[in-house]
Amino acid sequence: MRRRMLLAAPCLLAQPRPGAAQPWPSRPVRIVVPFGLGGSADIAARLLADPLSAALGQPVVVENRPGAGAVIGTDVVAKSPPDGHTLLLMSNTHTANETLLQNRPYALMRDLVPVAAINIAYHVLAVHASLGIQTVPELIARARAAPGKLDYASSGPGTPYHIASEVFAAMAGIRLNHIPFRGSNEARTALIAGQVPIMFDAIPTMREQIVNGRVIGLGTTGPARSPLLVDLPAVAETLPGFEASIWLGLMAPAGLPTPIAARLHGEVGKVLASPAVRDVMAKGGAEPMPMTVTEFEAFLRRDIERQREWIRMAKIEMG
């Protein structure tokens, strides 16, 4: 009996102690993108996935869970275990939703924690040729002459393109009619076909349409002219102070252990510092937003307040 007990001892010693920390990651890590395929958030998640997989030694899988203004996918992450195996690819849609969607099942800064800021990009204001408009002042004049008669497309209520359009209208003193779509691709297709004559969209995806003459670019939304569309003025040259962007970041369920958060932040920072990744982003009209976790948290809180001011100014209501 004693001999059998001694033989069993090594097996007992090999078992993990109850409560002992497990290595991370111990299985694939998923990045939930609460938007459709092909958008800037989806592209950024896939740009991160392969180098993070190599660094972490586990597959990093991108999972698109669009719907309800990004609420469906975000809620999935908010309710996931805070063990570093589920992350959220988020944008300023989320900071806008803190004001726009009062009945969402989570609170951004309560149920999720910041991991890393990723990048920022600006938009272009484009119109269909059938409008016969070539400049921002011409568009404003046309809209003032026919209040509420001109339609604009967006990738959905509460998205950065929707907010940009409404803030533009408020600052210009005009009324435009919102036609929401289920994503940028659908909205862009409607613009190119002339079904909806106006749209704010990402510069890289709309640039080809402008260069090929399918639509007319009126202006870009950064503080200065875009190097990707150098011939177009900034909208701010007509409406001083106007600026609109889409920025992206990573968050995780609240309660994420500090060592895992620090490792994730560091590995994402290495990916974003890579010349190859920076080159891909630059060609896509985006630039990295290097921040510490503390800086990113402060940025999120400021942006929630900024979005609230814009939404109130533009009198946007969603419920």
**CATH class, range 122-237:** alpha beta
pLDDT (tens, 9 = 90+) of the chain, 319 residues, equals 444 444 444 444 444 454 445 789 999 999 999 988 888 899 999 999 999 999 999 999 999 999 888 999 999 999 999 999 999 999 999 999 999 998 999 999 999 999 999 999 999 999 999 999 999 999 999 999 999 999 999 988 888 999 999 999 999 999 999 999 988 889 999 999 999 999 999 898 899 999 999 999 999 999 999 999 999 999 999 999 999 999 999 999 999 999 999 999 999 999 999 999 999 998 888 989 999 999 999 999 999 999 999 999 888 886 5
Q: Which of 13, 79, 77 is nearest to 45 (CA)?
A: 77
Distance CA 165, CA 153 (A): 9
Distance CA 22, CA 16 (A): 9
Question: Can you give the residue ranges of every domain in the chain?
Answer: 28-120+247-314, 122-237
Residue 19 backbone class (left: φ over 0; alpha: ψ -120 to 50; beta: rest): left
Percent of the chain with pLDDT strictly greater than 70: 93
- Do residues 307 and 98 make contact, with C-beta atoms less than 8 angstroms apart? yes
- Do residues 251 and 112 make contact, with C-beta atoms less than 8 angstroms apart? yes
Q: For residue 300, count CB atoms less than 10 angstroms from its CB and return exposed for 0-12, middle for 13-18, buried for 19 or more.
A: buried
- 28-120+247-314 with 122-237: one CATH topology? yes
pLDDT value of position 36: 83
Q: Can you give the pTM of this predicted structure?
A: 0.85
Distance CA 46, CA 74 (A): 18
Angle at 156 (CA atoms; ends 137, 60), nearest 5 degrees? 120
Helix/strand/coil for 65: coil
pLDDT value of position 48: 97
**CATH class, range 28-120+247-314:** alpha beta
